[in-house]
Amino acid sequence: MEMIESERAIAVRAAHGNAAERVVLVESLSDRVSEQFTLTIPAFRVNAGSVVAVIGPNGAGKSTLLAHLFGERSATHATVRVLGCRAGALPVRERQRIGVQWQEAGYNERYLVRDIRSLHERAYRVSRPEIFDAFDLGPLARSRFGSLSSGEKQRLQLAMAMAHSPDLLILDEPTSNLDPRFTQVFCRLLADMAQSNARFSCLVITHCADVVAICDEILMLQAGSIAHHGPRNTIIRQQFGPVGCSFTGLADARREVQLRLTRGGLSIHPKTIGQTLTVHGGEALRAAALDAARDLPLARFALWETGAADLLESINHG
């Protein structure tokens, strides 16, 4: 499979030549998880400077891939390396360059939040208090980890993963259990890390369009295999074109919309969910959709530039 780099990663490689680091390397990975499921990844890498979203339906193999990166699973003949070291066998110096938030990880339930934070301050040369403040962890300082809500635990784990300004961030559904306020806080922090350090790299499993929009590459898994891998905008344009539109109304109105669009000579791939017809296409769709919606009894009409939300919607609804 062709290896594809983001613009940021290409810039890093141009600046550092062949010494530009492959922060994640997976080759010849075949892991038969069960009789019904095998994860197969012939080749995949994350170069320094890449921010990669790992997406796909439930059961696609995202968590299994993460388990291999953490050394929790292994496969004969596979090569899985993180920061140049065998996965699960990184020396302390390299582990300190990584920030991890993993759904399956946690802390002793009796530990106070302030004590967990102090662990971070002792473990790393850098421990940025503004990251903990951004996730509003101060009021929770005297709370025990076991008493926290799922959202509060997530905020603490994200702060612990991000506060030492790691070179590589590996995240497992970071916005899971976060309310909209802290989802936006996380997205802002991630974007700031990517913009302030050209060598910063991130691999993030996510179902959140706002997170995907920050990433410059996408790895889409489907039934244990790589369905797509490449620059985010390239994949979105290839799958959907630059324009999306939707028409919400009764069946007769939706049928008339399709007739008007096809009479205009457009080749369309409509999808209907409930009372909403969604169509994607090229620039010609923009004017055609406006004409098709005119004078029809529609409850709602929307027109947009395609983006991460379209990609995730296609995963959720096929």
- For 90-120, the pLDDT digits (tens) are 999 999 999 999 987 889 999 999 999 999 9
| Strands 22-32 and 79-82, bridge-based pairing | antiparallel
What's the pLDDT score for residue 1? 39
What's the pLDDT score for residue 2? 41
Prediction pTM value: 0.89
pLDDT tens, 250-282?
A: 999 999 999 999 987 887 778 999 999 999 999
| Owning domain of residue 60 | 7-237
Instruction: Show which of 180, 204, 237 is a domain's final residue.
Output: 237
Q: Tokens representing 134?
A: 């951004």
Does 116 fall in a domain? yes
Instruction: Show which of 190, 222, 237 is a domain's final residue.
Output: 237
Q: Is the dihedral of CA 290, 291, 294, 299 positive or negative?
A: negative
Rounded Cα distance between 141 and 294, Å, is 58
Q: Which whole number is the average pLDDT over 8-28?
A: 68
> Which of helix, strand or coil describes residue 97?
coil
Domain check: are 157 and 251 in the same one? no
Does 1 fall in a domain? no
Residue 11's pLDDT band, with cuts at 50, 70 and 90, is low
User: Is residue 27's pLDDT more than 60?
Assistant: yes
C-alpha distances in Å from residue 318, one per residue of 157, 181, 308, 315: 32, 29, 15, 5
Domain check: are 203 and 271 in the same one? no
Give the side-chain half-sphere CA count within 13 A for 171.
33
Number of domains forming the structure of the chain: 2
Residue 84's pLDDT band, with cuts at 50, 70 and 90, is very high
What's the pLDDT score for residue 267? 77
Instruction: Show which of 190, 221, 237 is a domain's final residue.
Output: 237
Domain check: are 224 and 254 in the same one? no
The least confident of 6-10, 66-70, 73-77, 183-187 is 6-10
Does 2 fall in a domain? no
Q: Which whole number is the average pLDDT over 216-240?
A: 96
Domain check: are 45 and 151 in the same one? yes
Rounded Cα distance between 277 and 258, Å, is 9
**What's the whole-number average pLDDT of the chain?**
92
Place of tokens 């101060």: 138
What's the pLDDT score for residue 8? 54
Does 132 fall in a domain? yes
pLDDT tens, 135-158?
A: 999 999 999 999 999 999 999 999
User: Is residue 161's pLDDT more than 90?
Assistant: yes
Report percent pLDDT > 70 for the chain. 93
Does 138 fall in a domain? yes
- Residue 146 is part of a domain; what is its CATH number? 3.40.50.300
Rounded Cα distance between 236 and 55, Å, is 13
Q: Which residues pair with 150 in a beta bridge?
A: none
Does 210 fall in a domain? yes
Domain check: are 297 and 226 in the same one? no
Domain check: are 292 and 149 in the same one? no
Domain check: are 206 and 300 in the same one? no
Domain check: are 76 and 165 in the same one? yes
With contact defined as beta carbons under 8 Å apart, do 85 and 23 qualify? no
Residue 10's pLDDT band, with cuts at 50, 70 and 90, is low
What's the pLDDT score for residue 13? 47
Domain check: are 210 and 306 in the same one? no
Domain check: are 188 and 312 in the same one? no
With contact defined as beta carbons under 8 Å apart, do 79 and 244 qualify? no
- Residue 284 is part of a domain; what is its CATH number? 3.30.70.600
Domain check: are 247 and 228 in the same one? no
User: Is residue 222's pLDDT more than 70?
Assistant: yes
User: Is residue 191's pLDDT more than 70?
Assistant: yes
Domain check: are 56 and 143 in the same one? yes
Rounded Cα distance between 280 and 269, Å, is 7
